[in-house]
Amino acid sequence: MWQPSCLTQNLMSAFTQNLTYSLRSLRKSPSFTFVTVLTLALGIGANTAIFSVVYYALLRPLPYHQPSELVMLGEWRRQEYPNPHSSYPDYLDWKRTAKSFSALAGYSGDAFTFSAGGEPKNTFAGQVTPNFFSTLGVKPMLGRDFRDSDQQSNEPPVAMLTYDFWRSDFSADQNVIGRVIHLDGKPVVVVGVLPKEFEFALRTAPLYVPLHPGPDASARRSLRWLNVVCRLAPGVSLTEALAE
């Protein structure tokens, strides 16, 4: 049978004596005890909060299909444009000619006045190309994904709701598909609800609509406002894509 060594016994005895002394000291000084416990609580809470931010921002896997295949694509002009965005004509050219990617999708955002029968309120909406969610590998929880025809101006405007927005503003209505909402006073048909785990850079966007760039934004190659996300083609490395 294992027997504790003299060193182990001495360490345990010292630990017990120190712990007893500390507890007695804390009991005799309630104010000091309160400050000590509060300091420990704040320190533990701060470290927990920092770890949570690091985990959600850096460590947790992205909630997409094969996220390692996803890359951002843009033209970096350090002096004029601090972020690597794209013009809409460039995006169309890349989508048509690039061989390194199996899919390219664009996204941006804009503010709208939202109404669903109640008091109108200002909200933010993600504006995306119809293949945006399929490029990420995300499927709606309810309803359907955007279609290419949804981007045509002669088609009825449509929208997809995020899971949280569906719960908060539509009471998790299972029959929300086909419901008409209003954005900037225009009727928009809800065609889908995104899954609960979906997150993206546009985290404040409670809903998404197909991208409809205006004449100026769609024609000017020097106007870089579009974010582009791509999925690498099978067998193509990031180095090969960068070379292209």
Which stretch of DSSP H or E encloses residue 142? strand 142-143
CA dist., res. 158 & res. 149, Å (int): 11
Q: What are phi and psi of 38, to 5 degrees?
A: -65, -40
* 126-155 pLDDT, tens digit each: 999 999 999 999 999 999 999 999 998 888
Q: What's the confidence (pLDDT) of residue 59?
A: 46
Q: What's the confidence (pLDDT) of residue 172?
A: 96
Is-above-0.85 flag for pTM? Answer: no
CA dist., res. 180 & res. 117, Å (int): 9
Of 150, 164, 225, the closest CA to residue 200 belongs to 164
CA dist., res. 200 & res. 105, Å (int): 14
Q: What's the confidence (pLDDT) of residue 130?
A: 96
* DSSP-based three-state secondary structure for 93: helix
CA dihedral 92, 95, 96, 101 (to 10 degrees): 170
Point out the residues of the chain with pLDDT beneath 70: 1-15, 18-19, 21-23, 25-26, 31-61, 77-83, 202-203
